[in-house]
Structure 1
Amino acid sequence: MLPSIKQVIAQTIVKGQIEKLTLALSEFSLQYVPQKAVKGQALADFLAHHPSLYGFGGNDVEIGMVEARDNYWTMYFDGSSTSTSAGVAIVLQSPHQHRWFFSLKFDFECTNNQAKYEAIVIGLSVLHDLRDVRVLVFGDSELVINQLNGTFRCMSCTLAPYHMVASYLAESFDSITFKHISRGQNTVTDELP
């Protein structure tokens, strides 16, 4: 008679125990599936279901050397692409200076500007689920920031879909400001892998 799964697992694994476990589990149709990466939506859902205890009130904001106060969320973003890989780095900072770091590697090819737009879309998607949020977005891509500010027109066929999605998400916020910062001021995203 075969031992139950509980008995096999409870015993110390000695020679032959792995075979017994394999035999006991063989009656089931089990298939190993590796854990996939956590998607941005899961993080957005978590943040949406765990709102800030401090509420969102007031209007004070200071845009100087990248400093936010009161009820503004701050987002720093960066994206890059090489011939072998592409990815983004996003840092979200709550009004009370709590930070969440996101570093994502893509399994598709894209340009540097597409990667930067991907970072904005992912970050804004997470913040979007917080509802009634005010956001300051900082990035070192002058092109992307100025396109979202309306200073530059988006003329690229490859960037137009990203621009459209980012603009749509931006409209859902009570207040949003896109600010270009130098690469040296965007070091918070450089610290991520």
Structure 2
Amino acid sequence: MKKVLIAVIGIMLSTGLTTAQAQNSTSETPNFSKLDASPMDLALYRNPDNEPIARVIYSRPQRRDREVFGKLVPYGEVWRTGANEATELTLYKDLQVAGETVPQGTYTLYTIPKENEWTVILNKKTHTWGAYEYSSEQDFVRISVPARKAPNNIEALSMAFEQIDNGANLLIGWDDRYVKIPFKETM
């Protein structure tokens, strides 16, 4: 009789514990992470036939009343062109950048901002955090583009494609500056 009573109490305790655990797991809010301070975004360029040509994935740091260029992003230093992981550019077909044909594939997009111009770098090493693993030996293309004064302050780093004849400009803007990087479709 003692053995049966112990068994019944054991079953009741384990059932009650399991039920309590199940109730807790179903009634609690899942543990999602909070919104990143520099959320990820993407810009996509499609040709007039709606075919994807290029895509940029980047994180969008916020200005938050900080002086961006020359302070937060030092002049003359390699920058991941965003926050968190380095910015990635995927080309779905061969494109020309400053007369150089860049084969389809994925590249890391680094920049070296200066007051009046930026050096834009397409680097072959991908899946990197920040610019810590940057090596000029992996550069595929380097071009210089003028830094332009933005008509309005841009609170979050922003990227977009602007269609032009036979291609698109990749626009990168933040704070009071922006640049245009020309991509042309190969014939």
Q: Which has the higher helix share?
A: 1
Larger Rg: 2
- TM-score scaled by structure 2? 0.30
RCO higher in structure (CA 8 A, sep ≥6)? 1
